[in-house]
């Protein structure tokens, strides 16, 4: 999974045909729990670009996007948000895959 480098890059990536942003932080235990399954999730959904967003590095972006709990996921396609799985709760691989499966095609 690529790591976000700038807010400008975030806005550029939202214009792609399908991008999923995972908001995370190094100190977040629930984020560390899902890290090992994310390669499998990415493999199951090859049409998406997956991007890791460090919450501490991009706190202003989190505020702009109303992401106050992590781990959280935002999906974008062609400049529009297509879905969000945002909460402070731990997420399972099945929940993440269910979220992505239910995104508009």
Query: Which listed residue (31, 51, 61, 62) is catalytic?
Result: 31
- Using the 8-state DSSP alphabet, how is residue 96 labeled? H
Q: How far apart are CA 40 and CA 61, in angstroms?
A: 27
Clarify whether 62 is annotated catalytic: no
CA dist 67 → 54, 70, 104 (Å): 12, 8, 21
31 is catalytic: yes
Q: Which residues pair with 2 in a beta bridge?
A: 51
Please identify which of the residues 28, 70, 74, 100 carries the catalytic annotation: 28
Provide the annotated active-site residues: 28, 31
């Amino acid at each position: 999974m690529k790591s976000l480098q700038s807010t400008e890059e975030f806005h550029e990536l939202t214009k792609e045909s399908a991008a999923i942003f995972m908001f995370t932080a190094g100190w977040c235990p629930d984020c560390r729990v899902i890290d090992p399954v994310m390669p499998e999730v990415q493999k199951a959904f090859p049409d998406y670009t997956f991007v890791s967003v460090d919450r501490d590095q991009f706190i202003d972006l989190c505020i702009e996007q109303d992401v106050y709990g992590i781990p959280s996921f935002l999906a974008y396609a062609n400049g529009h948000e297509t879905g969000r799985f945002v909460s402070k709760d731990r997420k399972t691989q099945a929940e993440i895959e269910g979220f992505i499966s239910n995104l508009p095609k």
